[in-house]
Amino acid sequence: MYWIPILAIGSYLLLKNTNEKKPRKKTYNMANCNKLFKDYNGNLTIKSAKKDRLKESKRVLRDRIRKYFKDNHPEYVPEFYIQGSYKMKTTIVTKDDDCDLDDGVYFKREVGVTGTTLQKWVKDAVIDATSADPQHRKRCVRVIYAADYHIDFPVYYFQEDWEHPRLAVKDEELQESDPKEVIDWFASAKDGNGQLVRVVKFLKGWGDFKRNKMPSGLAMCILAEKNIKYNDRDDISIKETLEAIKTTLNDSFECIVPGTPYDDLFSEYDDSRKNNFLSNLDDFIEDATKAVEDEPNQLKSSKLWRKHFGDKFPLGADEDVDAKEKALLAQSASILSGTAHTKRDGSISDSGSVKNKPHTNYGGK
């Protein structure tokens, strides 16, 4: 009768192999700041009233652009496609309380006037839309709503026989560019729990707080997707993602856009800009490691995070929240097991004046 031990060994090997396929996560026992990161995400997110104003401004500006071209250049019919962070839901409100929306203007026709002229026409269409003059920037026309938000209008030709649109660039030739490919890439990369979106916003919040030519929002998005380390806790995820970003950039300092023209966003960084970013990254990793691995007090941990996120990141409680949670769980187990006692001051412990009856009400009637 050898089948019992053989079966047991087989079951053990099966269980062992199954367990080995699961990623082993490092255990952290210091201050849990996951709730603070959820609150920080809320502080970065556009509030509904501002979002409604932004959407209404987009509608009004689109109507102005349509009317301008209908009245002045009827052979050019604009179509629109929202792109960038707004489409990917990674837009943040900056420390100046500003945010943006990118609304591509497409002309699906053969090339006529230069891209620069096409940009100038879009600028003419939105003059006097706000109290600030629109800006004719290199790759877009910007309409500014002072102390609130701005809307960028990149302008494209898209001939029927082209595979990809071509972007108008001020005083330069048209450049092949397809922002929809980036949107599709990010949509396919997102996880069901929204952690990638949050981590992108955290990195953008860091860049906004530090500024001084930190990487663009798109660069932060690409770095996050390429290096994200998923975890049940956002504080652990961002700490491990930062470490992965550093390893990746040490191997090769580049940031390739996952869409036409697949350019490197870091290709024009001089040594000063590169070193500033890497220095900030090292400092952030050092403090994130302290916050996650060494600091049991949530308030002190939150102050470490604030050094890199600013005061949009909330302050924590002046206590060891993990120890408090463990104590509450132990007390709960004591009550459920029937070993709990109530002291004269009303507190619960394993010994005291009055022994509690076992708790049997689990929510049923």
Catalytic one of 52, 71, 98, 100 = 100
Mark 199-214 as b/e (b = at least 16 C-beta within 10 Å).
Answer: bbbbbbbbbbbbeeeb
State how beta strands 155-157 and 141-145 pair: unpaired
**How far is it, in rounded angstroms, from Cα 347 to Cα 344?**
7
* Burial (CB count within 10 angstroms: exposed 0-12, middle 13-18, buried 19+), residue 195: buried
Catalytic one of 39, 71, 152, 263 = 152
Catalytic one of 63, 97, 102, 208 = 102
Q: What φ, ψ does residue 210 adopt, rounded to 5°?
A: -80, -40
Examine the residue annotation and report whether 102 is marked as an active-site residue of this protein.
yes
Q: Helix crossing, 271-289 with 195-210: angle to 10°?
A: 120
Give the DSSP letter of residue 169.
-
Give the DSSP letter of residue 356.
P
Examine the residue annotation and report whether 184 is marked as an active-site residue of this protein.
no
CA 70, 72, 73, 78 torsion: positive or negative?
negative
Examine the residue annotation and report whether 152 is marked as an active-site residue of this protein.
yes
Active site residues: 100, 102, 152
